[in-house]
Amino acid sequence: MASLSKGAAGEVLAARFLRDNGYELLAANYRCRLGEIDIIATDGAYIIFVEVKTRQADARYLPREAVTSAKQQRLRATAMLYLQQHPTELALRFDVIEVTTAVDKPMVAPKIQHLQNAF
C-alpha cells in the first residue's frame, strides 16, 4: 500500500471523523481557479466548508495557526464559487479540523479537534 502524505492522511482521518459524527460529505479536495477546499459537508442545517490542518504531536504550533487571514479569504472566495455552481438553501459555515498525529505515524491520530464556525 502506498503511503499517504501527512496532509492527505489528515484529510482521510477528518472525513472519517465527520462521517462518524453524522455529517454527509458532499465533496473532497474541491479545486477551482481561486483555491481548494479540503472537505465540503452538510449536517442538514449548514453547508460546511472545512479546512483540515495536520501536525505531528511534537509540533511547535497548533494546526489552526496555519489558517491565516489570507487563507481564510481564499477559502471564502472558493466557497462562493462553489455555491454559484451548487446553489443551496442551507446556511454556510467555515470549520477547521485539527488533526494531531503520532510522531512518524500519519494514520494514527490521538487527537482530532473540530472547530466549528472557526472564522
* For the chain, domain boundaries: 6-115
d(C-alpha 10, C-alpha 92), whole Å: 23
Averaged confidence pLDDT in the chain: 93
Q: Was domain 6-115 assigned CATH 3.40.1350.10?
A: yes
Position 42 pLDDT exceeds 70: yes
What digits encode the pLDDT tens for the residues 71-87?
999 999 999 999 999 99
Position 32 pLDDT exceeds 90: yes
d(C-alpha 99, C-alpha 53), whole Å: 6
pLDDT score, position 83: 98
pTM above 0.85, yes or no: yes
Backbone angles phi, psi at 111, to 5 degrees: -145, 125
Position 104 pLDDT exceeds 70: yes
Other residues' Cβ atoms within 10 Å of the Cβ of residue 103 = 10
